[in-house]
Chain A
Amino acid sequence: MRDGLEMEKTILIVEDDQGHADLIRKMLVRSGIKAPVRHLADGQEALDFFFDPGPETSPDKVAKGFVVLLDIRMPKVNGIEVLDCLKASSITRDVPVVMVTTTDDPTEMDKCFALGCRDYVQKPVDDAKLLGIIKELLEVS
């Protein structure tokens, strides 16, 4: 049933750069992660996804159903704003968020941690590191 639990969680890649998203997807496939992967093209799509819930994102499913890989620099709504919204809502508060970003600005990093992200990974991504983080988050029930 361990697998079943794993299966329940979807990896959400919030990333405006299609290439970056593809690279992560390839890396996940290559490493044998079976979890469904979904790509959202910017922050607005991410907010719409969570706060305009459909059958996928009913409140009871949300908290335990997603691992979010969140880029920061995106058009419309940026990653930090998305993180802020997610952490501000009681429904999405517990969704684990990993920042995956080109930014290495310590102040931004500090800000993300302060808002409640689980981890912070710089691009170009260290595959092993990101994989370790994702696996860990997928295993937590």
Chain B
Amino acid sequence: MASFALLAMVGFYYLTQSETERLRQRYYDDSSHIAQIVRDQFFEVYRDVEDASLFISQLVNELVRLEGISHVEVYDRYGRLSTQTHMENTGRPEDYSLHSSYAEKVAETGKDIHMEHIPERIYEVVAPLFMAGDEHGGKPIGAVTIGIKLVRKGPELDEKAKMLTDIIQLAVGKSASHLEIERLYVDSITRRLGNIKGLASLIVYDNGLKVMAHSEPGHIGEDASGDTVPRLRQVLESHEEQNVDAPEEKTMLKYIPIVLSDEEGEDYVAAVVEMSVDLEYIEGTVGVVKGKMSNVALAIICGTMLAIWWVLRGVVVRPIMQMAELTEAVARGDLDVKVERRGNDELGQLAESFNKMTDEIRDSRDELVSARNFNQDVLSSLYESLVVVSNEGHVMMVNEAAGELLGYTVDELSKVHVSTFLPVWDDVLSEARVRGIAVFSEREFVTSAGRTIPVSVSASEMSSQSMGEIFGFVIVASDISDRKRAEDALREYTRKLEAYTAELVEADQKMRESEERFRLAFETGPDPIMLTRMRDGKYVDVNNGFVEMMGYPKEEVIGRSSYKDISLWPDREARDSFLMEIEKVGGQKNMPMPIVLRDGSARECLVSVSVFELGGEAHLLTLIRDISELKSAQRDRDILNEQLIEKNRELEQLVYVSSHDLRSPLVNVHGFSREVEMDFDALTKLLDKVKMSKVQRDEIERIINEDIPPSLSYIKSSISKMDQQLKGLLKLSRLGRTEVNPRKLDMEALVHDVINNFSFRIKEENVKVEVTGLPACVADEGLVFQAVSNIVDNALKYMEVSKRGRITVSGWENEDRAVYCIRDNGMGIRRDYQEKVFEIFHRLTPNITHGEGLGLSIVQKAVTKTGGKIWLESEEGKGSRFYISLPVAKA
């Protein structure tokens, strides 16, 4: 009995002892597990934070390449500098002690601060940084400082600052938002993990030994202090987890490094998580049988057991047995069992102690269960997708975020192979197997719908510390679509900026080309061009044309004044009135002006001036065109013209005079031939009375009757013909001297008058004359009458004998001309003679001797003289049409 009791006691001791150890071990395991989760979480978050920071840093250094930006700095909301332009890029002024407080102020108020650094010629804008999509109304998450090279102050500078701020706000803000979300997340995880019972505190230090996150509020930004500093340093150096017992503080500290790889693949510790485990709590729960307190309890139990064995022996066997059974139950894990307490004796007390122990063990277990549940909660609430896979890649566990991202339910996703959604799984797991952890900044997930999502992926080995073997991998992935979009947006902005810059460059190029063209035009133009300042007439530039024409070398002119030193104007008044005119109307075009050359000679020129602004001052661009040659040509022409008119007049005078002078002797020839004729008649009569032989008489009579009369007749007809021609010439020359008196003419009446003048001949020759409605015109009445008379005269003269003559006069209006047609059905004119009919003395029918042969010359002269035109259409044997066009009379 006693041995049994002792055995039971010892068994119970060992039972409780092993259970306690196991629990304790499990607790440590669990805390390690928590630490692992914490590490994984922080690892992911930190990697993202680092990525985002790196991205912002790159971004900031990209931005500084933009034209006109000297530097960019990004601050967090506490005014701490998080990223800045590399020093070699920056044109940032040295004295920046105030920056942090400015940034903090801006992050606090959300309002811009603008500063000007005069000596450095930098314009600085400190602008708030908002969460993406939170620009209006939200609280800033930080501030950004943009330094702009100060070229010229003005509205365009503020505009530029605004544009750059917007771009940086958009680009940095997006990433910074991401960063901020991660930070908030760290904060929230830290707080929540800190609530686990048994965890005294949870602190995240960055590798600058500053508090980044704290389970208690109000510590962020503080420096690590006291013993923590060397511990953190050690972790930073070794990359190893550290456990530190601090019994005097009743805590055990766990330092978990968050190891990341830098760009070169070199590992570094981004942050250290300090987990403070409450030793009192653990001992209070588990230490019933261990440590100082547990030794006392053991002594009590042992003593009590011995006493029971001795005092009660067999009487107490049942309760002892019950206790042994219960102990076994407890060992099996049933902590709800209770020892029935009977009285207040030792056994009762022992029962109470036992019950208390089981209660505490139960509480401890519940605590562990809740910690596990919490782990589950943490997984569920993870923003990132978490997938646990077996060594072979079979999904063992997923969180809700993974299901949501991939479009499966958690259950569905739990049954697939990792390759279903992570095509590169093999690479990822191999890497994790080799290095313990694999990190890929950009891989793709494939959703249930087959869509690909860019993700950052990390995989870490999963091993049980207690078992020490790898049983799978934890894959954590986060959707980086937003970041990609931000990157794309930035790329787009950069592209736009580049395009804008390219446009500017192109515009500049065009400007240069246009300047070049202007310069070429200026320099190579043959006409003189000069550029002078309006205020004082100072020559700014002159071209080669100027040098060549004016005779001044360029260097002699430039810098001197066109008003005082080298004046091109013939006199002051001419210059002043010219300038006044320019000032009044802003320029001059082709103003005739004599220009004085260096040798004192003057040239007739056309001067054009335009006024324009150059360097804020009015300048004159003067173009000079030498027209002296043109002028002299014009003068020559005028002289020739005058000479021609004079010659014409002389010619007409000559014709007039000579026809007169020729007529005088002709009058004599005519008169004296008649005298001779009369004398001859007298002589003939006298001869009758003279006696002579028949032969003599016959001879004389033959002379008198046959020789002399035809000779006289020839003389007379020749005289008559010559007289007609001289009269014609006189008439023609008279036309040349006639004054033209145009007025409105009633053509119908005029033509009827002409017809009337010929009425005798018309009747005699039985010619049919028709006049149809004729429009009125403006012309000299005498000249038109002369012309129409001559044409009608000609028509009557050259009628075809074989048919009845016909003359038709018609007319019409053609725009501003009145056109008349005089048509006959006479002999007509051969085509090759039609051009010649208007020539002087041209006679088409030499056998018809009457008329002076000048009829159509006179017609042409008359019509032309009164501003008309004459032409003809004719066909031999059918008749002619003479057309006269004259200015129509306006109604």
Contacts and interface: CB of A to CB of B under 8 A. Distances in A.
Interface stretch (B32-40, B469-477, B667-675, B882-890): B667-675
Interface in B619-660: 660
A32 interface: no
A104 interface: yes
Given A20-B667, A20-B668, A103 B660 contact: yes
Nearest to A102: B663
B727 A104 contact: yes
B259 interface: no
A20 B730 CA distance: 20
Nearest to A108: B734
A118 interface: no
B675 A23 contact: yes
Interface residues of B, number: 17
A124 interface: yes
Contacts of B663: 102, 123
What's the dominant secondary structure at chain A's contact region? Answer: loop
Contact of A73 (B660, B668, B671): B660
Nearest to B723: A124
Contacts of B672: 19, 23
A104 B667 CA distance: 13
B819 to A, nearest CB: 29
Nearest to A26: B675
A17 interface: yes
B139 to A, nearest CB: 113
B203 to A, nearest CB: 134
Nearest to A105: B734
Interface residues of A, number: 15
B419 interface: no
Contacts of B675: 23, 26
B667 A124 contact: yes
Contacts of A26: 675
Interface in B672-711: 672, 675, 678
A114 to B, nearest CB: 17
Contact of B671 (A105, A107, A124): A124
A124 B669 CA distance: 10
Contacts of B243: none
B267 to A, nearest CB: 129
A47 interface: no
B664 interface: yes
B727 A23 contact: no
A124 B675 CA distance: 13
Contacts of B678: 30
Nearest to A72: B660
Given A23-B675, A102-B660, A103-B660, A124 B727 contact: no
A123 B660 contact: no
A125 interface: yes
Nearest to B670: A124
A103 B667 CA distance: 12
A23, A123, A124 interface centre (most CB from chain B within 10 Å): A124
Contacts of A23: 667-668, 671-672, 675
A77 to B, nearest CB: 17
Contacts, number: 43
B854 to A, nearest CB: 14
A7 B180 CA distance: 153
Interface string A98-127: 000011110100000000000000011100
Given A17-B664, A73-B660, A124-B723, A104 B671 contact: no
Interface string A13-49: 0000101100100100010000000000000000000
A104 B726 CA distance: 11
Nearest to B671: A23
A107 B660 CA distance: 15
Interface string B871-888: 000000000000000000
Given A26-B675, A105-B734, A19 B668 contact: yes
A20 B671 contact: yes
A102 B671 contact: no
A76 B123 CA distance: 106
Interface string B726-750: 0100100010000000000000000
Contacts of A20: 664, 667-668, 671
Contacts of A125: 667, 671
Contacts of B671: 19-20, 23, 124-125
Contacts of B666: 124
B403 to A, nearest CB: 126
A78 to B, nearest CB: 11
B668 A105 contact: no
Contacts of B730: 103-105
Contacts of A123: 663-664, 667
Contacts of B670: 124
A102 B670 CA distance: 12
A141 to B, nearest CB: 31
Contacts of A107: 734
A105 to B, nearest CB: 6
A12 B661 CA distance: 22
B843 to A, nearest CB: 22
Contacts of B723: 124
Nearest to A124: B670
B620 to A, nearest CB: 61
A73 B663 CA distance: 11
A23 B674 CA distance: 10
A125 to B, nearest CB: 7
A104 B656 CA distance: 11
A48 B696 CA distance: 56
Nearest to B656: A105
A19 B671 CA distance: 9
Contacts of B667: 17, 19-20, 23, 102, 123-125
Contacts of A102: 660, 663-664, 667
A17 B668 contact: yes
A30, A123, A125 interface centre (most CB from chain B within 10 Å): A123
Nearest to A17: B664
B873 to A, nearest CB: 33
Nearest to A16: B664
A123 B723 CA distance: 10
B804 to A, nearest CB: 35
A35 B666 CA distance: 28
Nearest to B673: A124
A102 B656 CA distance: 12
Interface string A73-87: 100000000000000
A26 to B, nearest CB: 6
A24 to B, nearest CB: 9
Nearest to A123: B667
Interface in B68-98: none
Interface of A: 17, 19-20, 23, 26, 30, 73, 102-105, 107, 123-125
9 contacts: A17-B667, A23-B668, A23-B671, A23-B672, A73-B661, A107-B734, A124-B670, A124-B671, A125-B671
Given A20-B668, A73-B664, 15 more contacts: A17-B664, A19-B667, A19-B671, A20-B667, A20-B671, A23-B671, A102-B663, A102-B664, A103-B660, A107-B734, A123-B663, A123-B667, A124-B666, A124-B667, A125-B671
Which 3 pairs of residues, A with B, have the shortest CB-CB distance?
A19-B668, A23-B671, A102-B663
Interface of B: 660-661, 663-668, 670-672, 675, 678, 723, 727, 730, 734
